[in-house]
Chains A and B, each alone.
Chain A
Amino acid sequence: MFDQLFDAALLESVVRAMVPILLAALGGMICERAGVFQIAMEGMMLAGAFAAMAGSYLAVSSGLGIVFGVTAGVLISLMLAFGTVSRQGDPIVLGIALNLMALGLTGFLLPQIFGVRGTFRHERIDGLDRLPIPGLSEIPWIGSVLFDQTILGYLAFLLVPAIWLLLFRTPAGLRLRGVGERPLAAESLGVSPTAYKYGAVIASGVLSGLAGTQLALGNLVLFAEGMSAGRGWVAVVAVMLGRAHPFAVFGASLLFAFAEGLGFRLQGNGLPVQITDALPFLVTLIALIAARKRFARLLDLTTGG
């Protein structure tokens, strides 16, 4: 049984499932560090996926797809930053409303621009090429799993140590964390909380936009309504579970991606799709229970104590 389940193909689908979740979670993590509660990743990712598809279709070029995907994520992140940082709005309300706005807007634009409902695929949509690294990609098992990614796949993995360096080894990272943990102290030292919070939210817009791009141009080459399918929320949980630490967030993302990849595989083995679709969310819930001591901040935020 197990040798039928666990092989390089399974690991490949795990890594593929991981890239969008990891990208979005890294963005959410930066926000968490800056003290901004970010639950709009689902909407940013969906908008990013739609825009990436549209850009790629327009120019028959995945390059423009990436540009569009990032732009869509950033636009929504600006609305979130304005609402929560400049206007001190409720981040939960804004996050939910922006998610629903993205769902509605992509559902609206799909028939208006492309004349179809549900799913749109077209030969003009240029997918992201896989870029196997010569030599490394021929290593059995690991090679095809790790060294045959899209450009966004490599980026996601490189960002984990890069963001760790940024957060914990640079003055800017120190200030960002200061803004999140002791906003008054940071301000009295001349660090502008507004600027850092805006920066963090925009960064998460970029990363969630890239996550959506990977969904629509990397993992698949199409756009389907609601195709983010809860991954943005899984990313929220990954930030919580990983306590906003890059390597731990990486681990949490890997766990959920593993559940998704395993579900995909079990589906091939004849398990009903309804069961396998629920698998990542069940694993997420179980992981939450296992790590339950960690959510004091969020509980304070939502229950006032």
Chain B
Amino acid sequence: MAETQPIQRSGVAARIEAVLSHPVVFSLVFAFALGWVIVYLTGNDPGFAYREMYDGAITGSGLRNTLGRAVPIVGMALAVSVAFRAGVINLGGEGQMVMGGLAGSLVAIYTPGPGEIVIPLAMIVGGLTGALWAMLPAFGQTRLRLPILITSLLLNYVARAVTGYLVRFHFLDDSVTLTSTQQVPQTARMPRLPIFGGVSLSLVLVILAVVVAWVVYRRTVAGYETQMAGFNGRFARYGGIQVERQTVGVMVVAGAIGGVIGTHMIIGDAYRFIDGELVVSGLAWTGLLVALLAANYPPMILVAGLLFSGLQIGGLAMQRNADVSWRLAQVLQALVIVAVASRLAFDLFRRRRRGPTSGELESAGVGEV
């Protein structure tokens, strides 16, 4: 967003104003300010809490954990962005991740053989399962005209039930009190790299995926066509793009990414599929917020994903040391998006130079008029 701020008033004040009037920066400041108030009102020291959060995210094992948690967050953000760019509102990331995660982890648990074979196989099966699950709402929209927005979301609850049932009644590990599968054997676990104190190989894979997405978005016909459909479906259809086929395509890709990420969460992180664990972590939804904050732009997805991952890992340290629940991180993340979506940054700094804001242009132009 190129905000041209005339530097009439000199120096620092103008520069601060220029930075703050960037919608994302302003929204972050807004969210943290509101978070400050919330922590203060619940009887804790916000300064101390934020300091613990910051330290916890980047010092000690915090940096490794932040990088580790960025894997599913960035991955799920990528899955969301693939669909969102094309105007497909896929809210089913959670279900796609959970279904793929269970399928992939079962392969990893029950397939004998060396890791070089079992690990890729588990990822492929996980990805395929996620893709199949995502095809249900995709065909629901293209064949039955049911909005993906609703069906993909409802299927999340069905996925919870299906995986919960399978784990409880077919793949239960009796030796633990959790509702959980057996552990993934050592050989079938995602290798760790000897950097940053042992981050998962998946981190490299997810960064590669971001680069691939960037190239596809910018340099390929498919990337161009999906974006065009996202901007204006009717125009894209008029231009000869088969929007229905494209809808199924992006859902398959999004579901596959979700399934692979789900598999990673088991064979690279938790080492057993515990019923409800992937849901409670809220990773799919954090990914969705990251994609929104980054406006589907892959390099920004990486940055925003690391930021939100740091918030959560730092939040856990804050919970340990400052007695402030890590769920504050979730509140901050959501508030940032509320602020961005409400265009809070506009106007506040521009009331003096009165021109039409983008919101006003929209309401005067396209809109529902």
By the criterion CB–CB under 8 Å, are A275 and B89 in contact? Answer: no
By the criterion CB–CB under 8 Å, are A298 and B147 in contact? Answer: yes
Bound Cα distance from A233 to B151, whole angstroms: 10
A132 close to chain B: CB less than 8 A: no
Q: Known: A98-B338, A272-B168, A295-B145. Is A230-B157 also a contact (CB below 8 A)?
A: yes
Question: How many A-B contacts are there with CB distance less than 8 Å?
Answer: 168
**B291 CB, min distance to chain A CBs, angstroms:** 10
By the criterion CB–CB under 8 Å, are B145 and A275 in contact? Answer: no
B145-163 interface with A by 8 A CB criterion? 145-151, 153-155, 157-158, 160-162
A299 close to chain B: CB less than 8 A: yes
Q: Which residues of B contact A111 (CB under 8 A)?
A: 325, 327
Bound Cα distance from A166 to B233, whole angstroms: 37
By the criterion CB–CB under 8 Å, are B150 and A236 in contact? Answer: yes
Bound Cα distance from A101 to B247, whole angstroms: 29
Q: Which residues of B contact A292 (CB under 8 A)?
A: 144-146
B180 close to chain A: CB less than 8 A: no
Bound Cα distance from A304 to B362, whole angstroms: 15
By the criterion CB–CB under 8 Å, are B157 and A277 in contact? Answer: yes
B2-45 interface with A by 8 A CB criterion? 38, 42-44
Bound Cα distance from A88 to B366, whole angstroms: 12
By the criterion CB–CB under 8 Å, are B363 and A97 in contact? Answer: no
B335 close to chain A: CB less than 8 A: yes
B127 close to chain A: CB less than 8 A: no
Q: Which residues of B contact A298 (CB under 8 A)?
A: 147, 149-150
Q: Known: A97-B289, A288-B150, A293-B145. Is A104-B333 also a contact (CB below 8 A)?
A: yes
**B32 CB, min distance to chain A CBs, angstroms:** 14
7 more CB-based (< 8 A) A-B contacts, given A108-B38, A305-B233: A83-B342, A92-B149, A100-B337, A104-B333, A240-B150, A299-B145, A304-B87
Contact with B along A67-104 (1 / 0, CB 8 A): 00000000000010011000111101110111011011
- Which residue of the partner chain, among B147, B149, B342, B369, contacts A89 with CB atoms under 8 Å? B342
A109 close to chain B: CB less than 8 A: yes
By the criterion CB–CB under 8 Å, are B147 and A299 in contact? Answer: yes
- Which residue of the partner chain, among A92, A100, A109, contacts B333 with CB atoms under 8 Å? A100
B253-307 interface with A by 8 A CB criterion? 282, 285, 288-289, 292
Q: Known: A88-B363, A89-B341, A97-B337. Is A272-B292 also a contact (CB below 8 A)?
A: no
- Which residue of the partner chain, among B87, B234, B330, contacts A100 with CB atoms under 8 Å? B330
Show 29 residue pairs from A and B whose CB-CB distance is below 8 angstroms, ordered by the A residue.
A88-B367, A89-B342, A89-B343, A94-B338, A94-B341, A96-B288, A97-B292, A97-B334, A101-B331, A103-B282, A104-B330, A105-B331, A107-B330, A108-B38, A108-B328, A108-B330, A109-B42, A112-B42, A112-B44, A112-B325, A278-B158, A282-B158, A285-B151, A289-B144, A292-B144, A296-B145, A299-B145, A303-B243, A305-B234
Q: Which residues of B contact A304 (CB under 8 A)?
A: 87, 229, 231-234
Q: Known: A35-B368, A272-B165. Is A237-B150 also a contact (CB below 8 A)?
A: yes
By the criterion CB–CB under 8 Å, are B150 and A277 in contact? Answer: no
Q: Which residues of B contact A184 (CB under 8 A)?
A: 369
A4 close to chain B: CB less than 8 A: no
Nearest 6 A/B pairs, CB to CB: A104-B330, A278-B161, A304-B233, A101-B334, A305-B234, A83-B342
Total residues of chain A contacting the partner, CB 8 A: 53
Q: Which residue of B lies closest to A103 (CB)?
A: B330
**A262 CB, min distance to chain B CBs, angstroms:** 15
Q: Which residues of A contact B149 (CB under 8 A)?
A: 92, 298, 302
B74 close to chain A: CB less than 8 A: no
Bound Cα distance from A236 to B150, whole angstroms: 9
Q: Which residue of A lies closest to B44 (CB)?
A: A112
B324 close to chain A: CB less than 8 A: yes
- Which residue of the partner chain, among A96, A103, A237, A295, contacts B91 with CB atoms under 8 Å? A96
By the criterion CB–CB under 8 Å, are B243 and A285 in contact? Answer: no
Bound Cα distance from A289 to B145, whole angstroms: 9
Q: Known: A98-B334, A100-B285, A305-B237. Is A88-B150 also a contact (CB below 8 A)?
A: no
- Which residue of the partner chain, among A88, A100, A103, A274, contacts B164 with CB atoms under 8 Å? A274
A113 close to chain B: CB less than 8 A: yes
By the criterion CB–CB under 8 Å, are A285 and B343 in contact? Answer: no
By the criterion CB–CB under 8 Å, are B154 and A281 in contact? Answer: yes
Q: Which residue of B lies closest to A284 (CB)?
A: B154
Q: Which residue of A lies closest to B334 (CB)?
A: A101
- Which residue of the partner chain, among A101, A107, A284, A285, contacts B338 with CB atoms under 8 Å? A101
